[in-house]
Structure 1
Amino acid sequence: MWQLFQFPLCPFSRKVRLLLGEKGVGYELVRESPWLRRDEFLDMNPTGQTPVMTDASRGILLIDSMAICEYLEETVDKAAMINGPSINRAEIRRLVSWFDTQFYHDVTGPLLHERMEKRLSQQTSPDAKALREAMKAAIRHLDYTDYLLDHRNWLGGATLSLADLAAAAQISVTDYLGGIDWKSHEQTARWYRGLKSRPSFRPLLSERMEMVGPPSHYDNVDF
């Protein structure tokens, strides 16, 4: 059986979990705190980053969220998430890269560092300026998702795709950390409500990170 090494607020692990849920693939969660630099985990992934997915019975070790997602797309026929003609698949991959790289760099990563990592590993308070900058960046990024959803049914095109799962993974962690003002982003909020109501998403909303709690609307589908 698959084991997924992750922690509750890892957006890249969330992307993989959403894909596993959509495809109906069973797995066991293994809690990993990458900031602890545990030797046994570093033996699996020298970068010390989550997620890592393994199936010991088959001798399979998968590292990096996009590599894991591509593997699942190639090996599980159900619910293709990098779909359509070549131009559509290219657009899906572009958006996945955008959220995994740019959104994480500007928004999710700074919020995780200030509101989670500093508390858990450094026992220090967050930097107010860094939080403000991340929240300003969130507004810019959600302006872009609003624009995309003005022209498409889903972020990547006509159907649900890995672009939506990657975006929802980053946005859900940002929302947990109180980094989003939903009032001015109704298009994105409507799309996100639809994602939150899917069976693949519900397990994420029930999880909590020690010492860091979400806002009251976080697990409300009709926020």
Structure 2
Amino acid sequence: MSGVLHHFAFDPASRAARLALGEARVAFEENAVRPWESDCVVATLNPSGMPPVFVTQERERPLTLCELPAILGWIEDQSPGALLPTDPVERAEARRLVHAFARRFNDEVDAVLLHERLEKPLLRLGPPEARALREGRENLKAHLALLEGLLARRDCLAGRRLSQADLVAAAHLSVLDFFGEVSWSNWPALKTWYMRLKSRPSFRPLLSDRLAGLQAAPHYTDLDF
């Protein structure tokens, strides 16, 4: 299996796709895109214009997988159990958490903090607003507390083994960590879990992601931070 992944390096869904393909040992080439530009190739591949988009072949026929749910579903079809537990309770929990990140975490945290820290500088929309940053950070604390509670009694987010939930969560948190938005010392179980994720081979390419004009937190590339 192989293909081309069109992605934006600081889009959490794109990062999750890169992690998932890496963990499933799917060979892929990366095409980094800027989805806000009018000539972005993603606009011709996905009606929504949003990355990630994975282009591959299925029985010698072209196959275009638009956005993260389609990519995760395809991986599971190709390699059942690769990124979802075989235990039905843990599978349900993994899917619940993936959906929670796609909806609540995205709406309450990413749409606020990443808009202020990432989108505004890239699109030249002015400086971050203090009120919005406070709101996003308070929302982030609530979500981190929930994750800390899960990891205080589990090896991985959905249970005993690595799953889609861990990869999606790590993708979201890694973008926030780039900007130094996660106070890891306040969340010891979450920090230990993230250190394990950060040390996996699939994660290493994410640590080299950079954008001109954006400064990574000093600890961003450290495996033992």
Normalising by the smaller structure, the TM-score range is: over 0.9
Are the aligned partners of 1:2 and 1:55 in contact in 2 as well (CA < 8 Å)?
yes
CA 1:39–1:222: 2 relative to 1, 3 Å:
closer
- 1:111 is displaced (CA, Å) by 2.0
Using the TM superposition, give the Cα deviation of residue 178 of structure 1 relative to its aligned residue in structure 2, in angstroms. 2.1
CA displacement at 1:185 relative to structure 2: 0.6
AA of the residue aligned to 1:18:
L
- Write out per-residue CA displacement over residues 37-95 of structure 1, whole angstroms, 9 at most, x where no aligned residue: 43643221121111011127741100020111110111135x61112232221111001
TM-score (norm 1): 0.94
Once superposed, what is the RMSD of the aligned Cα atoms? 1.6
Residue 68 of structure 1 aligns to which amino acid in structure 2? I
Amino acid at match of 1:43: T
Q: Please state how far the C-alpha of 1:188 moved relative to its aligned partner.
A: 0.3
In structure 2, distance between residues paired with 1:125 and 1:31: 26
> 2:150 is matched with which residue?
148
Contact 1:41–1:48 (CA<8 Å) still a contact in 2?
yes
- Looking at structure 2, the residues matched to 184 and 91 of structure 1 have their Cα atoms a distance apart, in angstroms, of 25
Distance 1:40 1:172, change over 3 A: closer
What is the letter of the counterpart of residue 152 of structure 2? D
Higher helix share: 1
Task: Please name the residue that 1:206 is paired with.
Answer: 208
Q: 110-119 or 196-205: which moved more?
A: 110-119
1: distance between equivalents of 2:206 and 2:61? 27
Question: Residue 23 in 1 paired to residue 24 in 2?
Answer: yes
In the alignment, the residues of structure 1 paired with residue 182 and residue 67 of structure 2 have an alpha-carbon distance, to the nearest angstrom, of 27
Question: Match of 1:134?
Answer: 136
Match of 1:71 among 74, 83, 86: 74
Partner of 2:64: 61
Extract unaligned runs of 5+ from structure 1.
none
Amino acid at match of 1:96: V
Secondary structure at 1:35 match in 2: coil
